[in-house]
Amino acid sequence: MHCPSCGQQQASNQIKFCSRCGFPMGLTAEVLANGGFLPQLAELNKKKTHFTKKNGVIFGILWFITFTMLFTSILGIARAPDEAIGIIAVIGVFGGLMSIIGSLALLPSSKPSFFMPQQVMPPSQGAHGLHGGQQHQALPGQQSIPVSTYAAPRAGNWRDTNDLEPSSVTEGTTRLLEKEEEPR
């Protein structure tokens, strides 16, 4: 196991602190033991909410059943006016439909997300790379070398390319074959 702060290879996986920089290694050993994530963080990410897609669809179905089947039946038995029964049926159908569509479009999923946060350490400690430098979340800025640092090659290092004649691949192959045919 290597220290994530300074890169020092550790003598065993059971040590508590890095021998070079003192970085606490207990968390690193736990991350390695759990295949790259911490079970405690998965528990923190679980949000107990009742407003999910699944619950919204169930509410819409129950709304539909309650208004269209139950209330219209009760009003029909009670000999309510036909207009009231019709209004209750319309409220049941369209209210349930809007509830289902709205929950599917707007509410979060009820499936657990296996999301791993960006930083494992608290922000006050800072995130350090393998060799002690700060980790950056983006690419570094463009780096350029000024023209003045380039110098002409020393004499003798130049190769004069003017003597090279453009030739085709077949001409080179033909020359090689002719060399092989010549007696040695």
Question: pTM to 2 decimals?
Answer: 0.38
Report if residue 134 sits inside a domain: no
In a domain, 73, yes or no: yes
CA atoms within 13 A on the CB side of 58: 7
Task: Decide: helix, strand or coil at residue 115.
Answer: coil
For tokens 């090279």, the residue is 164
- Does residue 182 belong to any structural domain of this protein? no
Amino acid at the residue 8: Q
As for how many domains the chain has, the answer is 2
121-175 residue pLDDT tens: 444 444 444 555 555 556 667 677 777 776 666 666 666 666 666 667 787 788 7
- Is residue 98 one of the residues assigned to a domain? yes
Listed residues 106, 141, 174: the one ending a domain: 106
Query: Domain residues for 17?
Result: 1-46
User: 57 and 96, same structural domain?
Assistant: yes
* Of residues 63, 49, 25, 166, the one with CA closest to residue 111: 49
Q: How many helices (H) and strands (E) does the chain have?
A: 6, 0
Residues 30 and 74 in one domain: no
Q: Are residues 37 and 66 in the same domain?
A: no
Residue 64 in contact with residue 93, Cβ under 8 Å? yes
Say if 131 falls within a structural domain.
Answer: no
pLDDT tens sequence across 54-83: 888 999 999 999 998 899 989 999 999 999
State how far the Cα of 63 lies from the Cα of 135, in Å rounded to an integer. Answer: 52
Q: What is the mean pLDDT of residues 89-101?
A: 93
Query: Which residue from 103, 20, 115, 16 is spatially nearest to 54, judged by alpha carbons?
Result: 103
